[in-house]
Copies of this chain bind each other. A is one copy, B any other.
Amino acid sequence: MAFKIGLLGLGTVGTGTAEILLSPEGRHPLVQELEIYRVGVRSLDKPRTVQLPPDILTTDIEAIVTDPEVDIVVEVLGGLEPARSLILKAISHGKHVVTANKAVISRFGDEIFTAANSSGVYVMLEAAVGGGIPVIQPLKQALGVNRIQAVTGIVNGTTNYILTRMRDEGADFGEVLADAQKLGYAEADPTADVDGLDAADKIAILASLAFGGRIKLEDVYCEGISGVGAADIAYAEKLGFAIKLLAIAKKVDSDKEKLSVRVHPTLVPKIHPLASVSGVYNAIFVEGEPIGQVMFYGRGAGAGPTASAVVSDIINIAAVLKTRDASKLHPLLSCSHQHYCQIAPMEELVTRFYARFLTKDSPGVIGKLGTCFGDRGVSLESVVQTGFQNEFAEIVVVTHDVREGNFRQALDEIRTLDAVDSIASLLRVL
């Protein structure tokens, strides 16, 4: 056994990882050279589905990351602490690290990669985004020769599952969420998923790799799916769109030095490859020069897929350790950028919008809306009076590309109109 693994955590992903390492036959021969040397757990007595020699389990997790015998630390504890401190301590003890922890990497990536580079170790994170889908490795290796223009992802399975069921069943957000919680597709506290926070962590990581700069998580605009109504999904369908929670990182057309990085529910044209990514599946769509468009698709979560990503990171480190000149880091596996990307504020975003208004059923309402939009230079692609909600008429508007700031000013004016009861929903269009 050549490489000793210290596994931190034996939950879903940790168990999946151990299962791969314990049954190497039929896999890449390097898997045979990996030894599960220590496993850090909270309780020694908990029944486990995976068979491990009892003497390698320990509750002294800190002892693993400082153990001189350990070559590679695999952090699959989740959460911010003690995960962050353990990763940093492992690095300072010269261990390579594999982590599935998007929350830690998106918040403390700068601290962690700075430490890793100065210690000459690798920190690998394929499992942090898109479960088993190879996307981190391709961004670092295969796509790096391109000038990336945009990364657009469906990177949260829970929200994609909810939106898919809302569409299929014509159901409202609340009832589908409740059922998803019952079925285990959504957490008891669903905030991180449905408010887009999990997707924000992931797009910060993807943007950093795609555009070669660090991203401050607080710069990522984030809007969840709880405001998406069954009516919006139905109208979007009729107009030829699917509604998806997209995580987008994109060069600003008018200023290539700036990025727009954001998470929000989005109308996606049905002919776009992302529109047909349904249920718990994830997909990451990358546009670059000269490659054009490529997409990576698969299950974004679950023990098996995530463990596949973890172990692929481990064998990538092992492969380099077997062949490298130890004084040099492999430039496609390490993470060397140190500047921060410049992020454009949302009001400068240029995009199409979808808006649904509840108005009095009086003549001339569409004209008044049109005037407010026209005054702010907002050009409309379509305006449809779609039906009634109680005593109000529903009007759905889709704009051409418009600066978000201008669109919002028009909405502020529209809100003051007597004929307008409310803006029932407001979504961006890809």
Residues of A in contact with B (beta carbons under 8 Å apart): 16, 19-20, 26-31, 126, 132-134, 137-138, 141-147, 212, 273, 276, 288-299, 302-305, 307-309, 311-312, 315-316, 319-320, 322-325, 328-332, 336
Contacts and interface: CB of A to CB of B under 8 A. Distances in A.
The 3 closest A-B pairs by CB, nearest first: A290-B304, A134-B142, A294-B298
Given A290-B305, A322-B331, 19 more contacts: A26-B147, A27-B146, A28-B212, A30-B332, A132-B292, A132-B294, A133-B294, A143-B308, A144-B312, A144-B315, A145-B311, A273-B297, A290-B304, A290-B307, A291-B308, A292-B298, A292-B299, A293-B298, A324-B324
Contacts of A293: 298-299
A319 B331 contact: yes
12 contacts: A20-B145, A27-B145, A27-B146, A28-B145, A30-B331, A132-B291, A142-B312, A145-B315, A290-B303, A292-B299, A295-B298, A315-B332
Identical chains in the assembly: 2
A304 B30 CA distance: 34
Nearest to A148: B26
A311 B126 CA distance: 22
Contacts of A134: 134, 138, 141-143, 294
Nearest to A25: B147
Overall SS of chain A's interface: mixed
A297 B319 CA distance: 27
Contact of A312 (B28, B132, B143, B316): B143
Given A145-B311, A273-B276, A329-B323, A298 B291 contact: yes
B308 A332 contact: no
